[in-house]
Structure 1
Amino acid sequence: MGARESRIESPAQTSTGIGGGSGTRTTARVHSLPMKTVPPPITNPVLVWPDNSTRWQRLYDVYICHSKDEADCSYAMEMLSYLEQQPEKLRCFLPMRDMLAGSPIPSEICSGLENSHCWVMLLTPHFLSDNWCRYQMHQFITQAPCSNGRLIPVIIGLSLAQYPSEVKHMYAFKDTLNDRSVFIKVKDAILRCKYKVRAQFIPVSI
């Protein structure tokens, strides 16, 4: 029987001369392993709308209704900033920012409302005591009595008993002024409401 083939490579030997003598130095052969490739991070595709999309039939994607209370205004501004900075670049109508100075308030409200696909109501104790907020709520309901997802109530600091009877038949998001996770839910609701898509999908023709 012949000698078995060895898979272990013999170390290389090199001759060296030290002090006029001779000797050998053993060096091991090092085989470098191939580098592992790291896959790129998975990111959600950005929604793209064709030129003939229903999105462009209105000037705004969402109308944000809130009271004049300082905390309510701050919350509305944070929601606005979040929605407008998303990859979809949602177009928001915020009355305190987008109403035309000097124009009648009712006509500005109706114009913003009619030019928006969806409406977000920040239902707080101050909202319920603000006549202009209640006026806007009634205008929303007049425009879309069955809502069909266009009216998105966000309840902040209210008990269910305080929830306005006019919108009790609508599903609402429950939130606090210290929690911003509802912004994600509002964004998804806007995309589903008129465009019938979820954030992780790209619509072909809407």
Structure 2
Amino acid sequence: MYYVAREKYRDNVENLDGTTGSSFHFDAFVSYAEKDRRFVIKLVKQLEKEHNLKLCIHHRDFIPGTGIAENITNAIHNSRRTVTIMTSHFLDSYWCMFELNMARMEAIYSRNGENILILVVLEKLAIANLPFSFIDLIESNSYQEFPENGDDSEESAFRLKLAATLKSREGDFRTSSSNGAA
């Protein structure tokens, strides 16, 4: 399915100025579970307003009448990065895992292994409960834990770092966990 969607959109991508090429319509596609929607809406509004980012979120930017899988692959293909909001709800969602796997395929097959995934750990996840492929992603991709204590200055610093990563070419957002969890 990924390959069919990729081929369908590969030649139809246009730059914002109307020319064809490798520019993206969005700075990032944000992948999240529906139960985390309130957090995501707040984060997206702040990033778009404070940092002038253009983010793709499914409840606002997916095309009505188009299949879910096609909307997902289109969103990933037309976004410079994919941000995943990692929670237990994300891990339990078929479509979230589909989005994660499609982003991995995009990185491997369309972006020559470029690191396009940014993992935002919203809640503590026990390593023992993570699928093996997720542990590999955490070890090999950029991630950051969202501040737990609700401190405005820490949350602002988090958004600033995330925005800088989304605007950069490298996409290195990696931090280490202080408690050994993901």
The answer to which structure has the higher helix fraction is: 2
Q: For residues 1-206 of structure 1, what are the structure 2 equivalents within 5 Å?
A: 57-69=23-35, 72-87=36-51, 89-145=52-108, 148-159=114-125, 161=127, 162-163=129-130, 164-168=134-138, 169-176=140-147, 178=150, 180-181=155-156, 182-193=158-169
Q: Which amino acid aligns with 1:140?
A: A
Whole-angstrom CA distance in 1 between matches of 2:125 and 2:45: 27
**3-state DSSP of counterpart to 1:57:** coil
C-alpha distance after superposition, 1:103-147 (max 9, x if no partner): 100000111111000111000010000000000000000111476
Computing the radius of gyration over CA atoms, which structure comes out larger, 1 or 2?
1
User: 2:5 maps to which residue?
Assistant: none
TM-score scaled to structure 2, two decimals? Answer: 0.68
Instruction: Report deviation, 1:193.
Output: 2.9
Whole-angstrom CA distance in 1 between matches of 2:44 and 2:160: 12
Q: Which amino acid aligns with 2:144?
A: F
Whole-angstrom CA distance in 2 between matches of 1:166 and 1:194: 19
Whole-angstrom CA distance in 2 between matches of 1:195 and 1:176: 20
Number of residues of Structure 1 aligned to a counterpart in Structure 2: 142
Say if 1:67 and 1:130, in contact at 8 Å, map to a contact too.
yes
Say if 1:119 and 1:151, in contact at 8 Å, map to a contact too.
yes
Instruction: Report deviation, 1:79.
Output: 1.5
